[in-house]
Structure 1
Amino acid sequence: MALPAQDERTAPAVVLKDLDRQPLERTLDAMKALIDHHGHVVVVCSDAVPSGVERRLHTVRSLLESDRIALFRPNLPPLGLAVLARQLRQLASCDLSPGVLASAGRLLTHYIHSGAVLASVARLDRVPVGLKAHAKSWVPGSQFGVIAHPEPQLVRIGPEATLNGPDFGSWMLLAKGQLQSDWVGATLAPAWNALGLREADLPAESATWWGTGKLIEFCTYLPDLSVLYQLVTSVRQGVCHWCGIDVIGDRCVFCSAAPPVPENRAPTG
């Protein structure tokens, strides 16, 4: 899902549709054109898409023999993933190298709180669900507040229901599915001291990810480009020992190389 631009500097998104159904040649041509035009490509993909999509992406990367394609599948619900993709699009307008920009995705996931209000948790397999909650799923009118990231939480919504949220100022984004509830806007957003509330369309993968179409998905995020840029540039940068690209973190997002294991030195003296 490509969210609307946050500001005039936000780079446009390229949506790769039907990767597992269209001819391989078409996907190869599209990806090659992107690399030729932009130099590097960061593919942000939900882990709720069919397995054929991931296989096709790896096939394309292998056939093009390119180390300029980064495949990024963070364990975020679809709306949180869409927000993360937009943040990377915001940062693409800054003076960050491709490796640092792609690596920033792992860093920024720590500042996204993602959850949903669900009518049932009977088919929810992304968050631990106890027997009590499963039983209450069958009670008509039951609703559950769930956090999937950064730490799993689950409560049955009622007068005393609370969920732990971010301890820093952030905005909240809301996407409504086939469920009526004002709990997020009326209760959760004020409890989390949200700086503002915006709405978006529900991502196509949300019903699959959460196990039901009767949901309202939400997430909190940092919208300010200057804050995002400061977070990324404050982290120590390194150079991938394999492909030579600048990175932050312990693994290169383009060639997947991890830091070399230091050789054991013989004791001296």
Structure 2
Amino acid sequence: MPTAIAVTSPDLVLRPTDRQTPTAALLQSPDAQPLDAALTDLQVLVEQHGYVVALYPSSVAAAHERRLHTMRSVLESDRVALLKVDLPPLGVAVLARQLRQLSICDFSAGIVASAARLLSHYIYAGAVLNSVTRLDRLPVSLKTHAKSWVPGSQFGVLANPTPQLIRIGAGELAGPEFATQLVVARGTVQSDWVTSTLAPSWRVQAIHETELPADSPGWWGTSKMTEFAAFLPDISILYQLVSSVRRETCSWCGIELIGDRCGFCSAPLVPPESPPRAARTARAALTQGTSTRHGT
């Protein structure tokens, strides 16, 4: 069975881009499901799939995040990875779908989990906002704040991979230099800028519409918005990206990983000593003994 990919909200489960991509499991909030039932569901996932990789946005409610860590602790399972992702909600949904695509490939669960950090660098996540006065997740100058009070002002904001903010009609957002598709989630803002201007300038290959995630207004500081994310849709490209990175073994839990941090236990990759400590100690002792014999 493929590694199970889980999310914390049903609106983070985007439609698959092909027939092979499995769906994602749902780890519901404390308000939606009692702890005993949530534990049972997670235990079943682990038993059926072997490993579970759970993604959740940094904007998730504190009680929901505590629930995730509580379940992992109660089950005493080292087969559950909890990945807190600092992407806007739609970006988290895109990343979750990419991990769903990779879960059916010949990658171990550790590789799938640690691939999340790699793939997030290739997601261009942003929004069109009517106001940036409550946007506190990205740096916004006082001058830009003042402009947001002007009636009719709209802003194009890029949160990832590099934060950028422009006033629509007075600049362009830096886009990807590789082929992507675009997913768009409309809020209450009345704007076609994403589809009529941004998409052509980024030369996206296709545009997909989806529902706005429930956490998006809170993340962006306003409901008057349209959220978007450009992404790599082709599983063969995703596979090549992940395969091109050197594989390591976590020194703490022993699971396979790529990058500099384990996706399951969060331990950083420990670089090999060069030279090893024992060899350095022996060399120092040998040098000291030689110096003593020569009377130096």
Fold-level similarity (TM above 0.5): yes
- Give the aligned residue type for 1:4: R
Structure 1 residue 20, shift from structure 2 partner: 5.4
Structure 1 residue 11, shift from structure 2 partner: 1.1
2:80 aligned partner: 69
Determine which of 229, 248, 256 is the counterpart of 1:238. 248
2:95 aligned partner: 84
Contact 1:20/1:56 (8 A) holds in 2: no
Aligned length: 268
In structure 2, the gaps of 5 or more residues are: 1-11, 288-296
2:161 aligned partner: 150
In structure 1, the gaps of 5 or more residues are: none
1:25 aligned partner: 36
User: Is 1:215 matched with 2:197?
Assistant: no
Deviates more, 1:258-267 or 1:67-76: 258-267
Query: Do the aligned partners of residues 259 and 161 (structure 1) sit closer, same or farther apart at CA in structure 2, a change above 3 Å counting?
Result: closer
User: Is 1:174 matched with 2:176?
Assistant: no
Question: TM-score with structure 2 length normalisation?
Answer: 0.87
- Superposition map of 1:9-158 within 5 A: 9-19=20-30, 22-158=33-169
User: Is 1:197 matched with 2:207?
Assistant: yes
- Deviations along 1:170-223, whole A, 9 cap, x unmatched? 111111000111111111111111122111111111001000000000110000
Structure 1 residue 240, shift from structure 2 partner: 1.2
Match of 1:45, SS? strand
Tell me the percent identity: 56
Contact 2:28/2:38 (8 A) holds in 1: no
- Deviations along 1:158-179, whole A, 9 cap, x unmatched? 1x32111111111111110001
- Give the aligned residue type for 1:182: D
User: Is 1:165 matched with 2:179?
Assistant: no
Runs of 4+ in structure 1 over 6 Å off: none
Instruction: Measure, in 1, the Cα distance between the counterparts of 2:35 and 2:207.
Output: 41
2:4 aligned partner: none
Match of 1:216, SS? strand
2:216 aligned partner: 206
Instruction: Measure, in 2, the Cα distance between the counterparts of 1:173 and 1:56.
Output: 30
1:259 aligned partner: 269
